[in-house]
Structure 1
Amino acid sequence: MSRHLKGVDAASWQPDSWQSRPALQQPQYADPAELEQALGQLQALPPLVTSGEVLALKQMIAEAQEGQRFLLQGGDCAEQFADCRSEVITNRLKILLQMSLVLVHGMQKPVVRVGRFAGQYAKPRSADVETRDGITLPSYRGDSVNRPEFTAAARRADPGRLLEAHVHSALTMNFTRALVSDGFADLHHPEYWDLDWMSRSPMGIEYRRMVDEIGQSLRFMETLMGQSVENASRVDFFTSHEALLLHYEQAQTRQVPRRQGWFNLSTHYPWIGMRTAALDGAHVEYFRGIRNPVAVKIGASVDASTMMRLVDALNPDNEAGRLTLITRMGAAKVEQALPPLLDEARREGRKILWVVDPMHGNTESTSSGVKTRRFDNIRAEIERSFELHRAAGTRLGGVHLELTGEDVTECLGGARDLSEHDLARAYRSSVDPRLNYEQSLELALLIAKKSRET
């Protein structure tokens, strides 16, 4: 390696070290005392995850870096408090489990399941304010900051909503854990995961055939062994969110007995978005000091030199399982933008899990101004990413998707060939368009097929 690597200097980093750096995309709270009071209460609340779970995920990511696993990361663009309901959480978990079943069957390797939920309550915005009919108010930054209604009271940054975000994250985590531990994810009974749409989906026949094959294989193995395949009755499931609001993340950053260093215990797997990935910025400073596996979004404008400086800052010891780079280039730019990054990382021998986010680089607006994404572009970026990694001698180890288990119509195309006219039928996202259950499963089938071809 051409660079001198060294670990984090514990004396130079503390959970609040980020406050000495430029902090982008942070809410402007009118009353500092109100913010400090909320953060004090948040700091006293129990963590949402454990350090043992965090380190277990890091080991799985290290295995994914070596091609022994594949990462499936998915969930809502931005969670809303109102969607913290059993049916929404169950359907979201169902589609991720169904997708992972398809990937396990098609790739013949374990899948690391990571939900983009239980904390995804904040979103970066392109502008601090929004103007309608001559009235200018702060932008809606997600339910952990303010409310979407266009009124001064709703758009006020409210520190109390940080506590509400923790509560709703805890409720989501608790119900998800209960479902998984109660056998909801049991491979002996994948019919538990069926959604009502399966009976009318073009993907349904192929999915049910796959389920039958897995069931037959399990029964055959258990007949030979004379006992149940126990690890088929449960799955490991982890959470992730964009760690955007640094006061919130700091309040949940803890030291743990008998373990070195600091852990962000609000989530297993935080990531830095493209808008906040400045090398001298507060988010990189915060992330460099926590022991969680971390990820960074990488867009088409990032050159190899900038990327490697980020890698140096966030994984100076080249630790396995520590760093994921999530590329979000867009179907039209990935072929030109991705290869130089892959070549440089391979030449430097860096341990990186490469994941593709085919959603954000493919966002567009219809003629009527509705934000959407085309399924064909999403698929094209995934397929091309597999091919480019193969040509570079690197490995595409995962996919990062915005999706829902609901019957929404937000992305164009897919098996039912949704058109602009269909968007009006069930467009429910408050921020970005998501794949619906059918499009998500179709994409899993395509990913499994493409991975076998490359």
Structure 2
Amino acid sequence: MSTTIPSLTDLHARGAAQQPTYPDAAALASVVGELRERPPLVFAGEADDLKERIADVAAGRAFMLQAGDCAETFGNVTAVNIRNALRVQLSMAVVLQYAAQVPVVKVGRIAGQYAKPRSSNDETRDGLTLPSYRGDAVNGLDFNAESRVPDPRRLLDVYNSSAATLNLVRAFVNGGFADLRTVHSWNTDFVRNSRVEAKYEALSDEIERAMAFMIACGVSDDAFRTVNYWASHEALLMEYEHALTRIDSRTGTPYGTSGHLLWIGERTRQIDGAHVELLSRLRNPVGVKLGPTTTPEVARELVERLDPDNEPGRLTIITRMGAGKVRDALPAIIEAVEATGRKVAWVCDPMHGNTYSTEKGFKTRAFPVIWDEVDGFFDVHAELGTWPGGVHIELTGNDVTECVGGVDELDEDALADRYETACDPRLNRNQGIELAFYLAERLRNDILRRGTNPIQEFTPREM
């Protein structure tokens, strides 16, 4: 793998997809220069630690739970919102890790998910056409000419907001917030429906008995109080990602220090494009999203380009096929990748292939359809004898009404109650917990069918 990175000029010469058109080139250059002088948001050693755990996922010894906002916004960078998002993901991880007896690698869509690719450069309302909203990293959500002009100084706001978020997350996960012994209080906060609460209460009682046994055996108190948690986002904006690339003093190799895990989206995975070129040079663990139009040949080319050295934990493939296509489209892709000899982490994104609009104009997703894609993802891997390594979920820790279905039986009329997303619909906290129960049951059943438990092959480390 090369120890150099291409210049921004070289990257844009490749026709970098989904980039904003900034009206002031000098202002953009000034912002990029300022970002290059800022400290890294994450460190190379942290990214290496995550790579080791993703290697466990790829080997079938762990499961990845990657979750968070569709599109972060500057206005939502508050202690309450960050706490709620972290709490629902940690709560889901507890369900998975205990019920399925699988170590869970916890990765957030957090501290960098401020830019979004769009299907059209423009948006028209009531005869007025303006540039599309591309996330707070680029322009504003308000539909007026001033708000929609791409502003490079927003990249500095991304950096500052991400730094604040990471600082608070680190304080939470290292300061006792993630203590397993608080699981009963999480029940009260997260699970309002009695049916789910009863299931979760029973599981909580089991966890408490297990913890009591571990304490009696002399397990350190610190083992209960802290967890590892990593930040990830789509590496979409060339100027931001390039400016936050640093050369690691230990190895002399480049790392993207905007996040631990960076991924390439379905719209920017061109094999000769700028995003593949840049991320192929970085030493971070990287991901790539593959939709139903992906051919086995393209999948093979991408993994060979992004993981030339066949490095354990290097590559995560995030599939987003849609519930109606996953069982037909995914097998050939898995077989093509497996034929290269690489063991990648296979992760299912059941959100992006299952979006539709209601008659009243709300973009939404149906919980049963989301689960159907996850179930189909597991079915394919069970048939092929490969490991379904994780899920990639857009969710929030707040009581929004953006996806229909689930334990609260939200219907399309309920969407208007608390529809708060800046882009795509997210699962709310109850729907997230419910999904965790479904996942835990499916994982447990698949492990029983395999006849071996991954944890028996696992080298203990703090997860």
State the TM-score, normalized to the length of structure 1.
0.96
- Contact kept? 1:16, 1:250, Cα under 8 Å: no
Given candidates 91, 105, 112, the residue that maps to 1:112 is 105
Shift, 1:452, TM fit? 1.7
- Contact kept? 1:184, 1:192, Cα under 8 Å: no
Shift, 1:104, TM fit? 0.3
CA distance in 1, matches of 2:297, 2:411: 41
- Contact kept? 1:25, 1:124, Cα under 8 Å: yes
Shift, 1:188, TM fit? 2.6
1:3-152 matches, cutoff 5 A: 8-10=1-3, 13=6, 17-152=10-145
- Contact kept? 2:266, 2:291, Cα under 8 Å: yes
Which residue in 1 is equivalent to 2:226?
Answer: 234
Shift, 1:14, TM fit? 5.6
Q: What one-letter code is carried by the residue in structure 2 that aligns with 1:127?
A: S
- Contact kept? 1:91, 1:195, Cα under 8 Å: no
Q: Does 1:179 align with 2:172?
A: yes
State the TM-score, normalized to the length of structure 2.
0.94
* CA deviation map 1:172-218 (0-9, x unaligned): 11111111111111113323534534244531121122122111111
CA distance in 2, matches of 1:219, 1:230: 14
* CA deviation map 1:29-67 (0-9, x unaligned): 001100011111111111111111000000000011111
CA distance in 1, matches of 2:388, 2:156: 37
Shift, 1:13, TM fit? 4.5
Q: Does 1:419 align with 2:411?
A: yes
Q: Does 1:270 align with 2:268?
A: no
- Contact kept? 2:4, 2:253, Cα under 8 Å: no
1:339-378 matches, cutoff 5 A: 339-378=331-370
Given candidates 318, 321, 329, the residue that maps to 1:337 is 329
Which residue in 2 is equivalent to 1:327?
Answer: 319
CA distance in 1, matches of 2:24, 2:412: 44
Alpha-carbon spacing, 1:16–1:240, altered in 2? closer, same or farther (3 Å) = farther
CA distance in 2, matches of 1:222, 1:132: 61
- Contact kept? 1:75, 1:117, Cα under 8 Å: yes
What SS does the corresponding residue of 1:136 show, helix, strand or coil? strand
Greater Cα offset, 264-273 or 189-198 = 189-198
- The alignment yields a C-alpha RMSD, in angstroms, of 1.4
Q: Any unmatched runs of 5+ in structure 2?
A: 447-463
CA distance in 1, matches of 2:25, 2:389: 43
CA distance in 2, matches of 1:273, 1:302: 12
Identity %: 47
- Contact kept? 1:123, 1:244, Cα under 8 Å: yes
- Contact kept? 1:94, 1:194, Cα under 8 Å: no
Number of aligned residue pairs = 446
What SS does the corresponding residue of 1:189 show, helix, strand or coil? helix
* CA deviation map 1:88-123 (0-9, x unaligned): 000000000000000001221211000101110000
